[in-house]
């Protein structure tokens, strides 16, 4: 498989932009821009972030508490800073009891370490969620190697009548007998 073709294909999947933050062994705050973030489970509450094995952040994250800061659509400069293009502006650090976080985000998910798995050229860090914060701010998106803003809604009735309708198909809700999939 050609890595460039594969990377380009993966880039067709629009993702949110996060900065994963943690403390280094000496207590300093560290962060890395990450688009490979996935909610995993509601019970127990788990998320996953994937980091390149060779990244400094991967070395700091192993066995450490961390926060996934979902960037707001006006935080491109923050994304670029933690992607390796330092900004002269002060960083929006916030003290956290479990892990350092960032201010001004669309959401923040704070985790204690759950486990680390092999993900090929990446390490997969699973975290057990201990705290969440959500705002009304729109998230920053990433697709085709560039940042994007969320547009208007396409529909308000996404779930109605589909198999994953949370009112009829999710979380053990009974599926009506006359439903055909």
**Could you read off the pLDDT of 41-53 as tens digits, one per residue?**
999 999 999 999 9
Question: What phi and psi values does residue 22 have, to the nearest 5 degrees?
Answer: -155, 180
- Give the mean model confidence (pLDDT) for residues 79-88: 92
The H helix count followed by the E strand count for the chain is 3, 12
- Give the mean model confidence (pLDDT) for residues 5-13: 72
Residue 154 DSSP SS3: coil
The pLDDT value given to residue 144: 80
Sign of the alpha-carbon dihedral angle for 18, 113, 43, 178: positive
Q: How many CB atoms lie within 10 A of CB 161?
A: 9
DSSP 8-state symbol, 173: P
Residue from 32, 50, 39 nearest 109 by CA:
39
Question: What phi and psi values does residue 171 have, to the nearest 5 degrees?
Answer: 55, 35
Least confident of 48-57, 115-124, 129-138, 158-167: 158-167
- Could you tell me the pLDDT band of residue 170, with boundaries at 50, 70 and 90? low
| CATH superfamily of the domain spanning 3-149 | Electron Transport, Fmn-binding Protein; Chain A (2.30.110.10)
Global model pTM greater than 0.75: yes
**Would you kindly state where each structural domain of the chain is located, as residue ranges?**
3-149
* CA 65 to chain centroid: 15
Residue 3 DSSP SS3: helix
CA 8, CA 27: separation in Å to the nearest integer?
37
Q: Does residue 181 surpass a pLDDT of 60?
A: no
- Give the mean model confidence (pLDDT) for residues 152-179: 61
User: In this predicted model, what pLDDT tens digit does every residue of 141-152 receive, in sequence order?
Assistant: 988 878 888 877
Of the two residues 100 and 15, the one the predictor is more confident about is 100
Q: Does residue 19 surpass a pLDDT of 80?
A: yes
Residue 129 · residue 140 · CB < 8 Å: no
Residues for the chain: how many in total? Answer: 181
User: In this predicted model, what pLDDT tens digit does every residue of 33-81 receive, in sequence order?
Assistant: 998 999 999 999 999 999 999 998 999 998 999 999 999 999 999 999 9
């Amino acid at each position: 498989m050609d890595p460039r073709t594969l990377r380009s294909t993966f880039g067709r999947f629009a993702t949110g932009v996060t900065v994963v933050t943690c403390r280094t062994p000496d207590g300093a705050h560290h962060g890395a821009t990450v688009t490979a973030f996935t909610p995993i489970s509601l019970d127990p509450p788990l998320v996953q972030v994937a980091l390149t094995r060779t990244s400094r952040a991967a070395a700091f994250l192993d066995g450490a508490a961390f926060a996934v800061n979902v960037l707001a659509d006006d935080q491109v400069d923050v994304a670029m800073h933690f992607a390796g293009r330092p900004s002269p502006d002060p960083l929006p650090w916030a003290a956290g009891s479990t892990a350092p976080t960032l201010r001004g985000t669309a959401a923040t998910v704070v985790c204690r370490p759950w486990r680390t798995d092999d993900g090929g050229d990446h390490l997969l860090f699973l975290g057990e969620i201990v705290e969440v914060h959500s705002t009304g701010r729109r998230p920053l998106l990433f697709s085709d190697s560039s940042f994007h803003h969320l547009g208007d809604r396409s529909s308000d009735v996404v779930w109605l009548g589909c198999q994953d309708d949370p009112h009829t198909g999710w979380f053990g809700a009974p599926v009506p007998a006359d439903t055909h999939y």
